[in-house]
Amino acid sequence: MRAAGGTSPELAERVLAAIGDAVVAVDRQGRVTCWSGAAERLFGVPAAAALGKPITSLFPGLSRNDPEELLTLGGADRLEAVRRLAPNTTRVALTSTTIRDESGAVVGAVSLVRPMGGWLDPVERAGRSRRQWHRSLGTIVQEVVREAGQDPSAMDASAALARVLVAQARRLLPATECLLAVVTRERQDHFHVLAGGGSWAERQVGTLWPRNGTMAGRTLQVGRSLESTRVAELAGLGGGLAEGRIFAGRLVPLLSGRPLPDGRQALGVLGFYRDTPTYFTPYERRLIAEFAKLVSLSVERAELIRGAGEAAARLRTGVEVAVELAVSLKTSDVVGRLVRRAAAAVDAERVALLLIEGSEAQVVDAIDRTDRSRPAPAGARFPISNLLSGDEPVLLRAVRDRQPSVSGTYRVTGVEAVSEWGHSGLRHTLTLPLVLGGVVIAVLLVSRLRDEPFRKEDELTLQLVGNVAGLALRNARLFAQAEEASRARSDFLNMAGHELRTPLTVIKGYLSMLCDSSLGQAPAELHQPMELLAAKAEELSGLVDDLLFTSRLESGRLPTHPMRLDLRLAAREAARRAAPRVHLLGGELVIELPEEPLIVSADPEHVARVIDNLVNNALTYRRPDQAAWVRLWAGIEEGVAVVSVEDRGRGIPEEMQERIFERFVRGDKMVAGAPGTGLGLYISRQLAARHGGRLELDLSVPGHGSRFSLRLPRAASR
């Protein structure tokens, strides 16, 4: 150690030896430059082993004590504290003073260390007992709990919670100004000041403070409290503190006990500031440290609640999107709802949906929530490698990696409309591939014009939307293909029916003329063949009629003329029409009709067609070992008018009992060669549904028979 004021080194050594207290000096880097004999005796470390060593290697606990702050941050020329420098050692009192060079810069510090013994507590030395600060903190905690009871939501919302805590901090240390600043998920390189107490602190609320190069940022970096009496020049915040005449400050890091779901563990800082260049007393530091623990727990809880709420909101969004997209199977409806929902889910201003077909993309829909007059580039088609953000092919990467990515503006080489859409005013874009079965079927380009980057939570929300959307788009495509196939089938049936009807009409005409001898008397041996031909021509005519009827039914060109109809009369007429065939087969037709009318609103021709089909099926699928038996019953069940046709025929196998209502499905295996197209029950069920009713198979037992019922709502009485 060099002597000051030209004093000889020998004199300095004698002065140090004469001082009873230990003297320790360190340079700007914290290395020991002086270690007096009293220090050797107090700490049991010889000078040769201490000189040149970092002070923290001799006293690991020192990294959390004030002398280091005195060196690293500067401030007052003098600092007094009471500390235990190492575990199981005597508590000591330190008086530290900075050493400055000719320019006034801090080059080191020298400390006078005196053992205090176990009887003196630092808080008691400051004039306050443990009981006093326990009482102070207890009052604060009680007040926070009381306010939380009056307004529970205040402890869940970050801003409201911050105001409550800062208000209590001002009660804790009334002569200070207090700030609570948090590290937000959106801008983790900045602090957001949520609440302030005091005239200067209140003006800081809502501002952003950078983390890098600031005292608050360093507090989080080192994970411990930092204090200085020169915060105006060390805070890294420009002239804001100097204008507020803030000189001293103590900043405490707010840390989570475990990483939050978004990865954050550093939550923010709690700062106490003074307008005088004086350090906080040990008692005040103890109060601040204990109160900061409460603040850390409260902020952590609020963040966890917020995260849980957002996770629940994402799930609700996924459910709502699933419900909304399931309302319609039309591709245009699904696409429109998907684009609107994606924009609302993450509060984006501009969204475009691209369908991926091989190596090409097509814009199928796009919206701009800020400018409805801007034309959307719908219909544009381009290679996926041509959509770029900067020089990066973001669309190609999304399709290849099947992972979301974040970028800025985008453009499409060769397609000006899409480039203009992706360039004008955009700041951030989230590219989300919609994957189904390991294949990207579409991509969402979700963009914001404001300077608010997309967060991980936004990606998770859109992925929920995307999972549902992928299925909805696939189903819409399949439905469109099914509709196209249905239209093609209906067109074919219609064409085939008309093409068959023309030659069939000619055939039936000539057969009629042959049978009634209009073309001359036919030989006797041709009478039976001609009758057979006429019967087959009638069967063929019925098949053609079924084809044409089905075509008109599916295309919506079948007219319906509902009127008040008594189902008893409809059933009686059906029995009259079936009587000749029943007589020819030697069977029995039982009719059971009520005395009271069964009035419904229906088309008589359609109802007749349904009942005739049920009776004819009962006669066709009779058992070969016994005569046909059919019961035609009408009545009321649970307020609904019912016509039932029951038989004792072959019955229907269980696996076929629902399929028989499908198109072209027949029971041919049970009756070989029975005429029909397999359209009868399909047509009958469709006609029943058109009238608000149902055609159902009530029961069927193979080998014992079946019962079908037509159920129609009763018409209101006049």
Confidence of residue 212 (pLDDT cuts 50, 70, 90): confident
Query: When comparing pLDDT for 119 and 112, which is higher?
Result: 112
pTM of the complete model = 0.46
Pairing of strands 629-637, 588-592: parallel
pLDDT band at 578 (very low <50, low <70, confident <90, very high): very high
Secondary-structure percent of the chain, ordered helix, strand, coil, rounded to 5: 45, 25, 30
**Dihedral pair phi/psi, residue 695, rounded to 5°:** -115, 120
CA distance 579 to 547: 26
Least confident of 12-26, 47-61, 154-168, 631-645: 154-168
Q: Tell me: the pLDDT tens digits for 269-328?
A: 999 998 888 888 877 888 888 888 888 888 888 888 877 777 777 667 667 767 766 666
Give the separation between CA 95 and CA 283, rounded to whole angstroms: 17
Rg (CA), the chain: 46
More confident residue, 516 or 221: 221
For residue 411, pLDDT beyond 80: yes
CB 57 within 8 Å of CB 73: no
Encoded amino acid at 716, one letter: A
Q: What is the mean pLDDT of residues 202-231?
A: 87
Phi, psi of 253 (to 5 degrees): -75, 145
β-strand 428-436 against 563-566: which pairing, if any? unpaired
**DSSP string covering 673-708:** T----S-HHHHHHHHHHHTT-EEEEEEEETTTEEEE
pLDDT band with cut points at 50, 70 and 90 for residue 118 = very low
547, 558, 584, 579: which is closest to 682 by C-alpha?
Answer: 547
pLDDT of residue 500: 65
Most confident by average pLDDT, 132-141, 322-331, 529-538, 558-567: 558-567
Task: Measure the CA–CA gap between 91 and 503, rounded to whole angstroms.
Answer: 118
Own/partner pairs, 121-126, CB within 8 angstroms, 24+ separation: 122/81, 122/82, 122/83, 122/91, 122/282, 122/283, 122/286, 123/282, 123/283, 123/286, 125/82, 125/93, 125/282, 126/281, 126/282, 126/283
Q: Which residues of 502-513 are buried (b: 16+ CB within 10 A; e: fewer)?
A: eebeebbeebee
Cα dihedral 590, 591, 594, 595 sign:
negative
DSSP 83: E
Work out the average pLDDT over 408-421.
81
User: What residue has token string 């000889």?
Assistant: 8
Burial pattern 619-644, b for ≥16 Cβ within 10 A else e, equals bbbbbeeeebbbbbbbbeeeebbbbb
So what's the pLDDT on residue 464? 77
CB 613 within 8 A of CB 663: no
For the beta carbon of residue 558, count every other beta carbon within 10 angstroms: 18
CA distance 465 to 462: 5
pLDDT for the residue numbered 72 = 47
Question: What gap in Å lies between CA 265 and CA 300, rounded to an integer?
Answer: 9
Tell me the one-letter amino acid at 328: S
Closest by CA position to 254, among listed 263, 273, 267, 271: 267
Strands 106-115 and 92-100: what pairing?
antiparallel
3-class DSSP assignment, residue 567: helix
Banded pLDDT at 575 (limits 50, 70, 90): very high
* Beta-carbon count within 10 A of 658 CB: 11
Which residue, chain included where needed, has tokens 């507590």?
Answer: 121
Stronger pLDDT, 229 or 398, i.e. the higher one: 398
Backbone phi and psi for residue 680, each to the nearest 5 degrees, phi listed first: -60, -55
What are the distances in angstroms from CA 383 to CA 199, 358, 360, 401, 469? Answer: 60, 9, 4, 17, 23
Q: How far apart are CA 333 and CA 351, in angstroms?
A: 16
What percent of the chain is predicted at pLDDT more than 90? Answer: 17
Q: 599: part of which helix (H) or strand (E)?
A: strand 599-602
Specify the residue for token string 């397999």.
678
- The pLDDT tens digits for 132-150 are 545 555 555 555 555 544 4
Task: Report the C-alpha gap between 69 and 30 in whole angstroms.
Answer: 11
**Strand extents, DSSP E, 147-197:** 177-182, 190-197
**Burial of 127 per CB tally in 10 Å (0-12, 13-18, 19+):** exposed
Report the number of secondary-structure helices (H) and strands (E) in the chain: 21, 26
- Classify residue 499 as exposed, middle or buried by CB count within 10 Å of its CB (0-12, 13-18, 19+): exposed
The helix/strand/coil state of 378 is: coil
Report CA torsion sign: 71, 73, 78, 84.
negative
pLDDT at 570 over 90: yes
DSSP designation for 455: P
Q: Which residue ranges form the domains of the chain, and what is each CATH number?
A: 4-120 (3.30.450.20), 130-309 (3.30.450.40), 328-558 (3.30.450.40), 563-713 (3.30.565.10)
Task: Give the distance between the most distant pair of CA atoms in the chain.
Answer: 159
Q: 387-388 and 411-412 as β-strands: parallel, antiparallel, unpaired?
A: antiparallel
